[in-house]
Amino acid sequence: MDHAFFLWGSYAFTAAVIVVELIGLYLRRKNARFSVLSPEKSDEKA
Amino acid sequence: MLFSKYASPQNFYTLAGKLEPWFWAAAVALSALGLYIGLVLAPTDATQGEVYRVIFIHVPAAWMSMWLYLVMAFYAVLLLVFNTKISGMMIRAIAPTGAWMTLIALVTGALWGRPTWGTYWAWDARMTTELILLFLYLGVIALANAIDDPKRGDKAAAILSLVGSINVPIIYFSVKWWNTLHQGASVSLTSSPKMAKLMLNGMLIMGIALWMYAIAVALNRARSIVLERERDRAWLAERLD
């Protein structure tokens, strides 16, 4: 296989990991803020 | 005492919120500089060709994977000795990023290994101990979340962080202690660098960039954990209104 596949594959994988982690951070923060501001709603959900 | 002041979730939440944007900015700026050096300025390697440029991701990610585990072990000591609330939260906040860094190091290493060594994977000491590090991170995450009581979960995760940290020097010295397919240390404090200065600078800048990124992510995640745990406290509702 072409070396470019391995080189750019490495960078693409790293970028994908960072995007997934950042989306996870955003969703967790959103959910945590929601649970503080609307505790009864989050309790019902749980 | 400054340490005890910022060990309270309320003060930590405020301080982390102020620091976080600076670490994000540093991570973005240093990544841009490091990638520019690594992908544009650094010359093609005489033996490996262009594929060697994987080092600008692989080596810094491998450094971070080991460093973050040591930071977790440091917080584990703080938790077990001083019983600070924030220490347990920081272990939980750092572990996922440590696991991601380890995964990046393993996958980019495999993608570098195939064209240079002829194989994606070998069960040599460096690669195997790095894989064990990934399992340790996953173990810390699983253990912390498997116990309903957050404080007991924190302590269990702290003990595993502390015990598992013995693996970090084994990873680092594995290439010296055993004959491995993996090459020796890229950078050493005791000997002069074996690579071109520009390549070395690019790698070091990317290392600092990933460090800044890891701090920013850990602070962000720790603030979410504070929100989750302190959600019934009045100070938090006032802060978010």
pLDDT interval class at B111 (50, 70, 90):
very high
Q: Is B197's pLDDT higher than 50?
A: yes
Place of tokens 């702290």: B158
Q: Please state the pTM of the whole predicted model.
A: 0.91
pLDDT, position A46: 45
B74 near B67, Cβ under 8 Å? no
Please give the ipTM for the structure prediction: 0.90
pLDDT, position B9: 85
Do the Cβ atoms of B107 and A13 come within 8 Å? Answer: yes
Higher pLDDT, A38 or B18: B18
Q: Show residues of chain B in contact with A25, CB under 8 Å.
A: 217, 220-221, 224
Helices marked H in chain B — which ranges? 2-6, 9-36, 55-82, 85-117, 125-146, 150-164, 167-177, 197-229, 234-240
- What percent of chain B clears pLDDT 70, i.e. is strictly above it? 94
The amino acid that residue B59 corresponds to is V
Cα dihedral across residues B156, B159, B161, B163: positive or negative: negative
Task: Give how far the C-alpha of residue B204 lies from the chain's centroid of Cα atoms, to the nearest Å.
Answer: 15
Phi first, then psi, for residue B49 (nearest 5°) are: 75, -145
- If you average pLDDT over residues B8-15, what whole number do you get? 88
Please tell me the least confidently modeled range out of B35-39, B78-82, B107-111, B173-177.
Answer: B173-177
CB-nearest to B240 from A9, A13, A33 is A33
Place of tokens 């262009």: B50
pLDDT, position A16: 97
Question: Which residue from B54, B14, B69 is spatially nearest to B214, judged by alpha carbons?
Answer: B69
Please tell me the least confidently modeled range out of B28-37, B48-57, B186-195.
Answer: B186-195
Do the Cβ atoms of A17 and B232 come within 8 Å? Answer: no
